[in-house]
């Protein structure tokens, strides 16, 4: 395992960062597949500091690859440039004829998970205000700007992402609010055996009905 050197931060470094970007936690819960549809990787995004906000995204392999290619072409700070060069070497390669096989999908799921983890660490440790990695990271994850809703009750509208993608919501039997991307759920309505939101209790996308602090 590589030893990562953490750059010394200003005293108020955390307060200067977008609260929804700083050390965002990501994981790929599963792969959604359906006949005549491209496989989509279900990414769970959560703010580990609040433990109250989380959402799911459906991302194709080509979208991950597009992010990788963009980061390799953009001007990044030295820290983020070294980090992205290291992780892109482990990026899953293209498969022309077997891209939907279980073996390929599982391998991609693992490698893409590590790719997201490494980007999250790099974005959290970046101290260069001119570096564009954090902006690319935020755009890819459809991160909502929670600063705009400080003091407001959490709702489906309050956590609408900055890219204005539509989310749908529903309440579970415990009265907790569950959010998911309506457009992706509709497009993948024929997928099997995955529902619009993961059915596992540990993977539910929940925004609890409480006040933001």
Per-residue pLDDT of the chain (213 residues; tens, 9 = 90+): 433 333 334 444 444 444 445 567 888 888 887 766 778 899 988 877 766 777 888 999 889 999 988 888 888 888 888 888 888 778 888 766 556 678 888 888 999 999 988 888 888 888 888 888 888 888 888 866 554 444 433 333 333 333 323 344 444 444 444 444 444 444 444 443 333 344 333 333 333 333 232
- Domain presence at residue 149: yes
Integer Cα distance of 154 and 35 in angstroms: 37
Per the listing, tokens 């998970």 go with: 113
Per the listing, tokens 């989380």 go with: 54
- Domain presence at residue 135: yes
| pLDDT on residue 31 | 86
| pLDDT on residue 21 | 57
- Domain presence at residue 3: no
CA nearest neighbour of 170 among 202, 205, 210, 146 = 205
User: What's the Cα-to-Cα distance from 20 to each of 13, 46, 59, 156, rounded to whole Å?
Assistant: 14, 9, 20, 16
What domain range is 145 assigned to?
14-207
| pLDDT on residue 22 | 55
| pLDDT on residue 141 | 84
pTM, two decimal places: 0.58
| pLDDT on residue 64 | 92
Contacts of 206 (CB under 8 A, 6+ apart): 54, 172, 176, 177, 178
Which tokens sit at 174? 């415990």
Q: Give me the CATH number covering residue 102.
A: 3.30.1520.10
| pLDDT on residue 196 | 39
Decide if 184 contacts 205 (C-beta within 8 A).
no
| pLDDT on residue 47 | 75
CA nearest neighbour of 111 among 76, 67, 45, 64 = 64
- Domain presence at residue 156: yes
- Domain presence at residue 9: no
Could you give the number of structural domains in the chain?
1
Integer Cα distance of 29 and 195 in angstroms: 13
């Amino acid at each position: 395992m590589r030893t990562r050197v953490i750059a010394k931060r200003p005293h108020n470094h955390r307060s200067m960062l977008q609260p929804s970007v700083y050390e965002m936690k990501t994981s790929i819960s599963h792969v959604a597949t359906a006949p005549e549809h491209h496989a989509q990787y279900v990414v769970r995004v959560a703010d580990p500091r609040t433990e109250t906000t989380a959402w799911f995204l459906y991302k194709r392999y080509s979208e991950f690859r597009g992010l990788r290619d963009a980061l390799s072409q953009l001007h990044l700070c030295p820290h983020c440039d070294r980090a992205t060069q290291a992780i892109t070497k482990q990026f899953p390669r293209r498969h022309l004829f077997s891209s939907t096989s279980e073996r390929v999908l599982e391998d991609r799921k693992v490698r893409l998970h590590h790719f997201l983890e490494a980007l999250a660490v790099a974005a959290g440790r970046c101290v260069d205000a001119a570096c564009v990695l954090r902006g690319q990271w935020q755009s890819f994850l459809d991160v909502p700007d929670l600063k705009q809703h400080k003091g407001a009750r959490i709702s489906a509208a309050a956590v609408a992402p900055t890219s204005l993608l539509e989310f749908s919501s529903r309440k579970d039997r415990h009265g907790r609010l569950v959010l998911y991307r309506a457009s992706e759920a509709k497009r993948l309505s024929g997928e099997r055996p995955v529902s619009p939101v993961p059915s596992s209790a540990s993977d539910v996308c929940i925004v609890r009905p409480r006040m933001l602090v």
